[in-house]
Structure formats: C-alpha cells, structure tokens
Amino acid sequence: MAELDDRPLYLKAYSYPLPAGEISIFIENQQLIKDLISRRDQAYSDLSHELRTPLTSILLLVETLLKYTDDKTKTWLDKIYEQINRLIDLVQNWLEIYQLEQNPYETLTFQELDLKQLILSAWKSVEMLAQKENISLEYEGEEKIIIEADINRLTQVFVNLFDNSIKYCDPDGVIKVIVNVQEHKSGNSFVEINLIDSGVGFNGEDLPYIFERLYRGDKSRTRTQRTGNGLGLSIVKQIIENHQGSILANNHPETRGAWFKISLSLQQKQKE
C-alpha cells in the first residue's frame, strides 16, 4: 500500500451561487504549478549565486585597468564598469527577493522604532539626488509613532520609494508623506502611510504590473538618465508583506503623481 504524503497541498477554491440559495464549490489542485514555480525560482537563485563571483572578479579587474589606462580607453572602461555594477545589483536584488520569500521571518529582526525618524533617515540617503532637481519632502502626521519593524528593511522600503519618485518628479517637485494611525474594527491599531509625488504618475497599462519582478514601465515617463533593474518595487512589496502589511499603487486624484498607500500593524503578530 502506498504511503500517504504528509506535505501541504496547494489548492485553489472557487464558489458560485446557485438557485434556491445553494452554492457550488470547485477545488483546483495547483500543486504542480506551485512546484514548477518553486523549481524555477530555485534555478534563478542558483544561477544568481553562480554569476555573483565572476561578476565581482570582472569588476575588480576593470577597477585595476582604470588605474593604468589613458583617457580615451578610460571612457570605455567607465561604461563597462557601470554595466557590470548594474548586473551585480540585479543579481543581488534577485537573491534578496528569493531569500525574503523563502525565509521571511529568519531575515527580519523586529524592534520598536520611531516611524517618522526612520522616514526622514531614508530621505537623507537620497537627498542629494533630490537636491539636483530641487525636489523637497513634506511630512504630515503625528510626531512620534512607535512601530514594531525591521529597521533596515523598512528603511530600504522608503529609500526605494523615494528613489522611484525622484526619477519621475518634475523640477521643484514635492514628495509628500502623510501618516495616520487608525483603529481596525478588530481592535488592532495600524498605521497608514501615503507617499504621494507630483510627478507624471503611472501609465494606466502599467499599474497592474508595477510590483512584478523585472517589469519595466514606459521609459518615456522618466526624466532622468538613471534606470532601475525592475526589482526595486518587487522588493518593497515583499518586505511590506513580510511585515504582515500591504501596499497599493495608484495615481493621486489631485497631484496626478504616483501614490503609494502602505498599511502596517503597529505591533507584529507572533508567528507559530
């Protein structure tokens, strides 16, 4: 007799109303799809690990060549150096997403922190980029909100979001952060963070996909020459979800710019 497999099974259920108050329920076994996705992600992770070492070696070689070359050759080496750095960032970001997905609570260290100070600290990290275009930050909300979170990961969230807004803001633009503490009907307190910029906003066709890995929207929207690798917003979403929160993206009805709405519990629920 075959042994029973005690592994969890990934199912998806659908329900449809029927006459006379009855309901039909359909259960679909999606374990095969789940396994295929897991094997794909593992393969990408393994490949990323293998790529990281030779790319770092090439980067060091180019750094050495830059010290012993003439100005004409240096121009080409600078371009090679820039592209290798982009590849390294891509590999590192992919590994980061995979780690966050596979071991979300092993990669986070929760502590109580001042949310406003964390947001302002994240802004300091990108302020030089903003100053080039005279883009400013406005904070609106309570002066002291204590939240339980991973300080490094949550800082990364706001650095990525600020960087994204700076790319698309017009000169003399404003990035607003509006923070409100609210009570859920369950009695739990949570904080709602609205990050709104005065840029060009999202293309309507891009909105459903902006948090997907490697998705790059309409390049004509960006005002700067800086380009990302299509993983920044994916990392943001994964970190927020690992904090048992949520993030939505839209265009703000007043500024017409990008509008990110983040919801986070003030205290993390203990995982079994």
* CATH of range 31-102; options 1.10.287.130, 1.10.760.10, 3.30.365.10, 1.10.3760.10: 1.10.287.130
Residue type, 145: I
pLDDT at residue 71, rounded to an integer: 76
pLDDT band of residue 272 (cuts 50, 70, 90) is: very low
Task: Give pLDDT tens digits for 196-236.
Answer: 999 888 888 888 888 887 666 655 455 444 455 567 888 89
Task: Give pLDDT tens digits for 14-51.
Answer: 788 888 778 888 887 777 766 666 666 666 556 666 67
DSSP secondary structure string for all residues of 148-206: EE-HHHHHHHHHHHHHHHHHHPPTT-EEEEEEEEEE-TTS-EEEEEEEEESS----TTT
In angstroms, the CA 100 to CA 107 distance is 7
| Domain ranges within the chain, ordered by starting residue | 31-102, 111-265
Q: How far does Cα 264 stand from its chain's mean position?
A: 15
Could you tell me which CATH number the domain at 111-265 has?
3.30.565.10
Pairing of strands 136-140, 189-197: unpaired
**110 closest CA partner among 154, 160, 145, 144:** 154
In angstroms, the CA 152 to CA 72 distance is 41
